Amino acid sequence: MSREHTVQKSINVLVYAFLITATVLSFSGNNSLADIFNTFETYFDPAPWVFYVWTVTYFLLGGFVIYQWFDQAHESAIHGVGWHFVLSAILNTLWLSLLEGEHKILSFFVSVFQIFSVSFVFYKLEAEYHANNWWDRLFLHAPFSLWHGWTVFITAVTAFVAFTGVNKADDGTILPPNVLHIVLFYIGLGFLSFTAIGYVEYKGQKGDLTSAWVIAFGMWAVFVEQPFPTTHWGALAAAIITTLWPAKPYIWRALGRSTSSETAPLLG
């Protein structure tokens, strides 16, 4: 291993430690990431338990910074992930810091840049560094698949935080969404639903199911949290679609039908 590669891997470890530390410090006055989002009220708010996705992602990224030191992960870590792990982690920390400071619009634009950064790793691994064993699947492909799907979902949520709000009565009660809010809500649902379908259909139905199901998980969280029929049932429809679409190969198999999507990988 060259000195340059050792430095790169060492910086990955340091940046991961920074990411964890910055997150813990951000939560010093809150119980969780959900508490930060609860300070903003929108018609696209998800249930708090959706943020466990990020906890799992954190854990698997910790596995990545350890696994990168093994020989079988060297090429993927250095040339597949590259410096984009560092960039993505910094952008994630900046996004959270800006959101906590109520710089909502800046936070949204940072989250968009984070999508591009995580996307680079996601598609690089998918295209050039296929998983050869379960360790590759668990600590190379899984964390970035989860991170990619999560980043897309949370960027949509952040967009609603940045550019929309809720209608309230004089006593502070949240009123049902108006026409504009409903239109924006369904645009958000449509974007996330088509993104989840795109994950599945990527490369001729040999796409990534993990990222699609992360978005589906988010749709279920929106369904549970939203009390108004115009948003509640729309989110349910999107949740069902984004859950069943990745499950197509397994459903066809259970029905005794063959399909080319049976080879779609769950991780990598």
Digit-coded pLDDT (tens) for 183-210: 999 999 999 999 999 888 865 445 678 8
> Is the separation of the CB atoms in 244 and 219 below 8 Å?
no
Q: Which one is predicted more confidently, 260 or 49?
A: 49
| pLDDT band, very low/low/confident/very high, at 252 (cuts 50, 70, 90) | low
| pLDDT band, very low/low/confident/very high, at 256 (cuts 50, 70, 90) | low
DSSP result, 62-83: HHHHHHTTSGGGHHIIIIIITT
Mark out the alpha helices in the chain (DSSP H runs). Answer: 3-26, 33-38, 52-67, 74-75, 84-100, 104-128, 134-136, 142-163, 179-205, 209-225, 229-244, 248-254
Mean pLDDT of the 27-40 span: 68
pLDDT of 249 above 70: no
Task: Tell the residue number behind the tokens 């009123």, with chain if given.
Answer: 175
Helix (H, G, I), strand (E, B) or coil at 19: helix
Percentage of the chain beyond pLDDT 70 is 86
Mean pLDDT of the 39-49 span: 90
pLDDT at 68: 93
pTM of the model: 0.88
Taking Cα atoms as reference points, which of 230, 210, 93, 227 lies closest to residue 153?
Answer: 210
Q: Distance between CA 17 and CA 20 in Å, rounded? A: 5
Q: Which one is predicted more confidently, 266 or 228?
A: 228
Q: Distance between CA 196 and CA 94 in Å, rounded? A: 26
CB-based contacts of 140, cutoff 8 Å, min separation 6: 64, 67, 73, 76, 77, 80, 81, 125, 129, 131, 268
pLDDT of 20 above 60: yes
